[in-house]
Amino acid sequence: MASSLTKDNAKQGTPVDGGKTFFGHPRGLAPLFMTEMWERFSYYGMRALLVVYLISGGPDAEKGAQAGGLAMNAVTASAIYSIYVAMVYLLALPGGWIGDRIWGPRKTVAVAAGVIMTGHLALAVPGQAMFFVGLALVAVGSGLLKANISTMVGHLYNGPQDPRRDGGFTVFYMGINIGAFAAPLAIGTVGQSVNWHMGFALAALGMALGLVSFLVGTRHFSPQSSVVPTPLQAEERTAWLRKGLIWTAVAAVFYGVLGFTGHFTLNWALVPLALLGLVIPITVLARIKRDKELTDTEQTKVSGYIWFFVAAAVFWMIFDQAGSTMSVFAEKKTNGEVFGLSFPSSWFQSVNPLWVMALAPVFAWLWLRLARRDREPSTTVKFSMAMVFIGASFAVFIVPMMMASDGSKVSPMWLLSIYMIQTIGELCLSPVGLSVTTKMAPQKYASQMLGVWFLAVTAGDCIVTLLSTGGADLSGIPVLAVEAAMAVLAGLAIYLSRKKIVALMGDVR
């Protein structure tokens, strides 16, 4: 899945294992594939349960649904879900920094897998306090892993020109979609039909299997993956430790006072994190834009890139509501039965990866065929198409929302169709966005810019969090209509401004 693609920003090593291969690829690809697959299995399984668990027993729970959740309303559940996803992608930046400067990629991935497993185990313990502890641990672990495991895949090959490299990453990314597809079917079924906490425990088991795969396969990894590329000097380590302790103390005092005086509410945690998730991407882009060491051409390309970044933030703002707004609709207002067979609402979270696996080869063939005829759409046109598709998906969503307004339940085909439209948009935007980021990045920020691209996910999800905490009804038809119109208008703006954007892109096409 696109919201799961990771950056490859490491120096390259040389192949290992003396010529032995895994289907023509270095043998180290197998344990990395398994680690990523099980990590995605645990992540998407937990994500499929997250919102329905939060509203279980609460005012927005489906009648007859399993009890034992946290009894929150849908608005609060959506805000928590969105800030969680935002933090996963935001924490990929410090995760990459830790891999580059403190532990090296291999140790960082091992620690990350352990942290994720511990987080899922915490979620398996009943109680609101352990829930938030578990959620924080999974977010931290995912950020650490996301930024480093693809770097290790890159280390397996003999530089960027190795002809097996692209195929290796294709195999690796298959693990993402296999794990994402299987997780809601397994973890979702156990969590919704048997016991919520057994579902979270199953996610922990999945990550444990990923960690075992990683540790067993260690001997097949490139020695480069254990190297710390730019280790912190002693004075730098001291300075970072001092800053960390100061900010931790400030936060502890601030929230301690709020708690002691009885003024603390969940919004005191959600809103600052959401604002941070918006300020950091803006600050990072502004810092790059103001860098006087960049050439005029690089400065111009950064200006053009901002168009794509803003569009991507709007896209992910809608797309990631698959696990919140659409998850609540699936639970409350969608018929969970096909041909007389019942299934839990979490199964709908398997639809997107299924569509990705079905449609990605079609799009790859289509773009290649059009390119041979010199008719392949430009990057700006593909982005425009993506925005129109994601907007159209919510426009279509309004129809079943209206049909279910009288309390009746709609056919699951509505959600299957909406996910298909969103996946088409995803395939127009996500691979293209990754590619254009690498092409438009200033040489000085070649690696960091891929991290900036993922910050678009953070920004989009933080906007949803702020809307939720501000009282907006994300399941309301007016809000759906505004979001749909916003995306379509953004797509039209990019299309109408394509000549200006192309001029800013310079030699990038």
Per-residue pLDDT tens, the chain, 509 aa: give them.
Answer: 544 443 333 334 444 555 567 778 899 999 999 999 999 999 999 999 999 999 988 777 666 566 678 999 999 999 999 999 999 999 988 888 898 889 999 999 999 999 999 999 999 999 999 999 999 999 999 999 987 898 898 888 887 677 787 778 878 888 888 999 999 999 999 999 999 999 999 999 999 999 999 999 999 999 999 999 888 888 988 999 999 999 999 999 999 999 999 989 999 999 999 999 999 999 999 999 999 999 999 999 999 999 999 999 999 999 999 999 999 999 999 998 888 889 999 999 999 999 999 999 999 899 889 989 999 899 999 999 999 999 999 999 999 999 999 999 999 999 999 999 999 999 999 888 888 887 888 888 876 787 888 899 999 999 999 999 998 989 999 999 999 999 999 999 999 999 999 899 887 76
Q: What phi and psi, each to the nearest 5 degrees, are found at residue 488?
A: -65, -40
Q: Is 192 exposed, middle or buried (0-12, 13-18, 19+ CB in 10 A)?
A: buried
Give, for 341, the enclosing helix (H) or strand (E). Answer: strand 341-342
Q: Are 104 and 82 in contact (CB under 8 A)?
A: no
Which of 51, 465, 458 has its CA nearest to residue 269?
465
Which of 429, 416, 431, 424 has its CA nearest to residue 350?
416
What is the C-alpha separation between 468 and 273, in angstroms, rounded?
Answer: 13
What is the C-alpha separation between 237 and 61, in angstroms, rounded?
Answer: 48
